[in-house]
Amino acid sequence: MSPAPPRQRPYWTALVLPLALYLIVFLVIPFIHIIVLSFYTYSPTRIWTPELTIANYVGLADASFLTVLLRTLRLGLVSTLICVLFGYPLAYFLARAERRVALIGLFFLVMPLMVSAVIRTFGWLVILGRNGLVNGAITALGLERLPLLYNETAVVIGLANVFVPFMVLPLMASIERINPALEEAARNLGASWLATFRRVILPLSRPGLISGCLLVYSAAISAFVVPMLMGGARVRVIGRQIYDQLLISYQWPNASAIAALLVIATTSLAFFVLALMRRSARQEPDA
C-alpha cells in the first residue's frame, strides 16, 4: 500500500501572500511601467507622449554612453575583486573564531550598515580630501599633495568600503558549513595551507563566493551616491547618467531605457550564474 501523499499546509500561502503582493505592487508594476515608458517618445513640453519608438534604445549605442557603460562595468568588477580580496580572509576568520569573537566581529562588520552611505562617503572625503588626513600627513613630511579624490581609484575605495559586508556575510555562511575535520585531514596528509585552501576550502565555499560577488557587483554598477561624491564630474557612471537624464534634462523615456537595460543585464547575469551553479552541482556527484 503506497503511503499517503503529504498533507498540504494552506497557511504557507497566507504567509507568502503579503510578500508576493508587496513585490508585485512596489517592484513588478513599477518596473513594467519603466519598460513601457522606455518606448515612449520624448516631448519638450509634456516630458513624454504615448507614441511608441525604439529611438531611446538606439541612442544607447552612442559612443559617449558606451564609454560610461564600460567604465561602470569596470569599476564594479574591480570593486568586487577588492571585496573578495579583503572579505575572504575576514569571512574565514569569523567563521573559525570563537563565538564571542565572532559576535564582536559581526557587530563591527554590520554596524556601518546602520549608517547612511552618504555619511560614510563624507567620512572618506575628510580622509582623502585635498586638506584631509592623508594629504595632511603627506604635507607634514614635506611632500606635495596627492589627487586622492575625484578619480576612479577613489570611487573603487568608496564602493569596496560600502559593499564589503555583502561579500563577507554569504562567504562566512558557506565556510561555517565546511567541516574543520576536512582541513585537518588535508594538512595531516601533507597538503600545505595554500593547497588546502585551493582544493578544500575554495570549492566548498564557492556558493557563498558566487552569491557575494553577485550582490556586490549588482550593487556597485547601480551605485549613485559614492560615484557622485567621490568621483565628481570626472567619473561618470550609469547611476549619474540616469539621474541627469531624469532630473536635469527631463529625458524620462531615455532614463527609463537606461534603467531597463541595467536591470535586464543584472538579472540576466544572475540567472546565468545560478544556471552554471546548478549545472556544476549536478555534475559533481558523477565526477
Percentage of the chain surpassing pLDDT 70? 94
Q: Quick one: pLDDT at residue 286?
A: 46
Summarize the confidence of residues 160-166 as an average pLDDT.
93
Residue 41, strand partner residues = 49
Can you tell me the distance from the alpha carbon of 65 to that of 56, in angstroms, rounded to the nearest whole number?
Answer: 12
Superfamily of domain 66-283: MetI-like (1.10.3720.10)
Please state the pTM of the whole predicted model. Answer: 0.86
Torsion angle of C-alpha atoms 282, 95, 270, 159, degrees rounded to 10:
-160
Model confidence at 247: pLDDT above 90: no
Angle at 96 (CA atoms; ends 94, 101), nearest 5 degrees: 50
Q: Quick one: pLDDT at residue 7?
A: 56
pLDDT in tens, 81-96: 999 999 999 999 999 9
Q: Which helix (H) or strand (E) holds 63?
A: helix 63-96
Q: Quick one: pLDDT at residue 208?
A: 92
Which three cell numbers mark 31? 518596473
For residue 147, give the DSSP letter.
Answer: -
Q: Quick one: pLDDT at residue 45?
A: 85
Q: Quick one: pLDDT at residue 144?
A: 87
Torsion angle of C-alpha atoms 253, 255, 260, 263, degrees rounded to 10:
-170
- Report how far apart the first and last C-alpha atoms of the chain are (Å, whole number): 37
Which three cell numbers mark 256? 527609463
- In the chain, what is the greatest distance between 2 CA atoms, to the nearest angstrom? 89
Can you tell me the distance from the alpha carbon of 154 to that of 122, in angstroms, rounded to the nearest whole number?
Answer: 12
Which residues have a Cβ under 8 Å from the Cβ of 202 and sit 6 or more positions away? 209
Q: Quick one: pLDDT at residue 260?
A: 92
pLDDT in tens, 28-82: 999 999 999 999 999 888 888 989 999 999 988 888 999 999 999 999 999 999 9
Q: Quick one: pLDDT at residue 287?
A: 41
Which residues have a Cβ under 8 Å from the Cβ of 39 and sit 6 or more positions away? 52, 53, 54, 56, 253
Which residues have a Cβ under 8 Å from the Cβ of 259 and sit 6 or more positions away? 34, 38, 242
Model confidence at 1: pLDDT above 70: no
Q: Quick one: pLDDT at residue 166?
A: 94
Q: Which amino acid, 98?
A: E
Can you tell me the distance from the alpha carbon of 16 to that of 129, in angstroms, rounded to the nearest whole number?
Answer: 48
Angle at 82 (CA atoms; ends 77, 86), nearest 5 degrees: 150
Residue 43, strand partner residues = 47
Residue given cell 560615484 in the structure block: 227
Q: What is the mean pLDDT of the chain?
A: 88
Q: Quick one: pLDDT at residue 230?
A: 92
